[in-house]
A and B are shown apart, each in its own frame.
Chain A
Amino acid sequence: MEDSEDIVQEALLVMHLKRDSWDDSQPLEPWLHAIARHKLIDHLRRRGFKDHVDIDEHAETLAAPPAGEEGTSVDAAKMLASLPERQRRIVEAISIEGLSARDVGGRLGMSEGAVRVALHRALKALAAVYRKDRP
């Protein structure tokens, strides 16, 4: 369960950061699917699964975990901890506390623009950590 949530989170992060790789004259779904698939295979390879697991046929029928069961990913917490102090505080304030970029700026004595720049860097750093630091 934790694993699947990690993969979902990494895929979402990559979809966000690499959104320019979508050709806007093409349908969106194959692009989303391709990224999810790429990240899943990547993850399985790192874990040492050599077999190809084809989930395409079951994509429509696989049950999503009930919302209440959604866990807090241990890995993600560790990854957040690996960010530089300021970036980590910005990500936590926005994601966990739900503050706006402007509020975070007020709290940390930064402009809203600077908060957004730092946030973008933090997300890129997180994606890199996802890629490298997992077993």
Chain B
Amino acid sequence: MKTEQLLAALVADRAAGGRSLTRTLSLGLLAGGVLSLGLFFATLGVRHDFAAAIATWRFDLKIVAMVLALVVAFALCRALGRPVPLLHPGRYLLPLLALAAVAVAIELAVVPMDTWRLRLVGTNSLICLTAVPALSLAPLAAVLAMLRSAAPASPALAGAAAGLLAAATGATLYAFHCFDDSPLFVVTWYSLSAAIVVAIGWAAGRRLLRW
């Protein structure tokens, strides 16, 4: 087949394109998120003191951080799904790191030093480490499936970003269950949980997202 002949076939193929990466990723995230939401209500559920918790700044800040993580991870995932290499992917995470630093600084300033340890260890760390990855699995699979139609410059990095986006989804759900609202707990254990999912995404992306 000559190249011009191939071109004739490409021109004749007018299969619906124009589905932007934003839309594709949103659909995947929504599908995976709904599955995890079902899993969340079937297993953990919202904390029973939800009404009281929402009036505290620590809980509210936790939710704000989760929403910011979702936004940041989505933008990163979309940028890394494209073939043009992203120069400084780490930059996308700066707003999230800044919020985490500020939250930790406030917490350290307002609570007595002898309670730091207690707040850091919390009561749910092991549940956090299992629940967040578990709630991230469906979103991870869905986002990776959607990224297969993209053309990531680095499949491994795109997979890691998919892991971060999935972890942000799982962590957002888990945040409504967990009683540990201290920024010391959230920054430590949520990050560790996310790291597990990011590692899975990285390994899966390397295999699944090659093109």
Instruction: Give the B-binding residues of A (Cβ under 8 A).
Output: 5, 8-9, 12-14, 16, 18-24, 26, 30-31, 34-35, 38, 70-73, 76-77, 80, 91, 94-96, 98, 100-101, 116-117, 119-120, 122-123, 131
Query: Residue on B with the closest CB to A26?
Result: B84
Cβ–Cβ contact B211 & A131, under 8 A: yes
Cβ–Cβ contact A101 & B12, under 8 A: yes
User: Which of chain B's residues 151-196 have a Cβ closer than 8 Å to chain A?
Assistant: 151, 153
Asked if A76 meets B12 with Cβ closer than 8 Å, knowing A18-B150, A20-B18, A23-B82, the reply is: no
CB of B56 within 8 A of chain A?
Answer: no
State in angstroms the CA–CA spacing of A83 and B83 once bound together. 28
Q: Chain A at the B interface: mostly helix, strand, loop or mixed?
A: helix
* Least distance between B85 CB and chain A CB atoms (Å): 7
Cβ–Cβ contact B12 & A119, under 8 A: yes
* Least distance between B148 CB and chain A CB atoms (Å): 10
State in angstroms the CA–CA spacing of A47 and B92 once bound together. 36
* Least distance between A115 CB and chain B CB atoms (Å): 9
Cβ–Cβ contact B1 & A100, under 8 A: no
Chain B neighbourhood of A38, CB < 8 A: 83, 151, 153, 211
Q: Kindly supply a per-residue 1/0 record for chain B positions 66-100, scoring 1 wherever the CB is within 8 Å of any chain A CB and 0 otherwise.
A: 00000000000000011111000000000000000
* Least distance between B10 CB and chain A CB atoms (Å): 5
* Least distance between B13 CB and chain A CB atoms (Å): 5
Chain A neighbourhood of B7, CB < 8 A: 12
CB of B117 within 8 A of chain A?
Answer: no
Q: Name the 10 nearest CB pairs between A and B, nearest first.
A: A120-B15, A95-B5, A34-B83, A76-B1, A21-B151, A95-B9, A18-B151, A16-B10, A34-B84, A95-B8
Cβ–Cβ contact A116 & B84, under 8 A: no
Query: Residue on A with the closest CB to B14?
Result: A116
Asked if A123 meets B1 with Cβ closer than 8 Å, knowing A18-B150, A20-B19, A20-B149, the reply is: no
Contact of B12 (CB < 8 Å), options: A8, A14, A24, A116:
A116
Asked if A35 meets B3 with Cβ closer than 8 Å, knowing A13-B10, A18-B211, A94-B8, the reply is: no
State in angstroms the CA–CA spacing of A35 and B10 once bound together. 16
A-B contact pairs, 17 of them (CB 8 A): A13-B10, A14-B211, A16-B10, A20-B17, A20-B20, A30-B84, A34-B82, A34-B84, A77-B1, A94-B8, A96-B5, A100-B12, A116-B13, A119-B9, A119-B13, A120-B15, A122-B9
Chain A neighbourhood of B151, CB < 8 A: 14, 18, 21, 35, 38
State in angstroms the CA–CA spacing of A1 and B18 once bound together. 34
Most chain B beta carbons < 10 A, residue from A8, A19, A21, A120:
A21
CB of B121 within 8 A of chain A?
Answer: no
Chain B neighbourhood of A98, CB < 8 A: 8
Q: Kindly supply a per-residue 1/0 record for chain B positions 1-31, scoring 1 wherever the CB is within 8 Å of any chain A CB and 0 otherwise.
A: 1111111111011110111110010000000
State in angstroms the CA–CA spacing of A117 and B151 once bound together. 22
- Known A21-B150, A94-B12; 17 more pairs at CB < 8 Å: A8-B3, A16-B13, A19-B17, A20-B18, A20-B149, A30-B84, A35-B151, A38-B83, A38-B153, A73-B1, A76-B6, A77-B1, A95-B6, A100-B12, A116-B14, A119-B9, A122-B9
